[in-house]
Amino acid sequence: MSERFTKGMARNIYYGGGAFFMLLFIGLTVDTVTALPKRENRDKLTAEVAQGKALWEKNNCIGCHTLLGEGAYFAPELGNVYTRRGMGDEQAFKAFFNAWMKAMPSGAEGRRQMPQFNLSEQELDHLADFLIWTSRINTNNWPPNVEG
């Protein structure tokens, strides 16, 4: 490296650049946090949806599935499972979801197995509410198709 470029200059780029971009990041974060309530329909984020999210976490669903593309890649994406399986009908989706959860594990030999989580009727309802709410978040049009 050229001798005219000193260690002091490198240090200033580090501290100056780091601080500048961190501040810019915080500024953009403020803007994002302000924009989120509309993009995710926070007015529809009911106590039931919140309860559903808590159940999602308590049973470590992310350990196999993705949600909005994040998580493990062992089982299907669930951010749009309402679109895929419910086809716009909340009651139909809930009936499907309830039956699905109760039928697990399938026990089919050699196939990937989903554990039985023994959730109550009310818990299953809340979990479904959470997945329905999630499917309506404005995700810049992701995923590309219904298969997730």
Partner 1 sequence: MKYASQNIAKPYFVFALLLFVGQIVFGLVLGTQYVVGDFLFPEIPFNVARMVHTNLLIVWLLFGFMGATYYLIPEECQCELYSPRLARILFWLFAAAGTLTIIGYLAVPYARLADLTGNELLPTMGREFLEQPTITKLGIVVVVLGFIFNVGMTVLRGRKTVVNMVLLTGLVGLAVFFLFAFYNPSSLTLDKYFWWWVVHLWVEGVWELILGAILAFIMIRTTGVDREVVEKWLYLIIAMALISGILGTGHHFFFIGAPEYWLWIGSIFSAVEPLPFFMMMVFAFSMLKRRRREHPNKAAMTWAVGTTIMAFLGAGVWGFLHTLAPVNYYTHGTQLTAAHGHLAFFGAYVMIVLSIISYSMPILAGRQANSTAAQKLEIGSCWVMCIAMLTITVLLTVAGAMQVSLQRLPESGDALSFMATQDKIAMVYWARLVAGAAFGVGVMMYLASFVVASLTHRQAPQLTVAI
ω into 115 cis (within 30 of 0): no
Could you give the angle at which helices 90-103 and 121-135 cross, rounded to 10 degrees? 130
Should residue 30 be labelled a site residue for partner 1 when binding is judged by CB under 8 A? no
Nearer to partner 1, 91 or 140 (CB): 140
Give the DSSP letter of residue 86: I
Q: How far is the CB of 94 from partner 1 (least distance, A)?
A: 19
Structure tokens at 81: 């499972």
Should residue 122 be labelled a site residue for partner 1 when binding is judged by CB under 8 A? no
| Spatial distance between the Cα atoms of 12 and 143, rounded to a whole number of angstroms | 42
Residue position matching structure tokens 């999602």: 56
Among the residue ranges 85-93, 95-103, 110-118, the one whose residues contact partner 1 (CB under 8 A):
110-118
Select from 145, 135, 137 the least CA-distant residue to 40: 137
Should residue 110 be labelled a site residue for partner 1 when binding is judged by CB under 8 A? yes
Number of residues that bind partner 1 (CB under 8 A): 72
Nearer to partner 1, 91 or 141 (CB): 141
Should residue 10 be labelled a site residue for partner 1 when binding is judged by CB under 8 A? yes
Should residue 90 be labelled a site residue for partner 1 when binding is judged by CB under 8 A? no
Q: How far is the CB of 106 from partner 1 (least distance, A)?
A: 9
Mapping DSSP to helix (H, G, I), strand (E, B) and coil, where does residue 7 land? helix
Nearer to partner 1, 50 or 101 (CB): 50
Site for partner 1, residues 41 to 80, rule: CB under 8 A: 42, 45, 49-50, 53-54, 56-64, 66-77
Nearer to partner 1, 32 or 122 (CB): 32
Asked whether 113 and 74 are in contact (CB, 8 A), the reply is no
Select from 52, 39, 66, 41 the least CA-distant residue to 139: 39
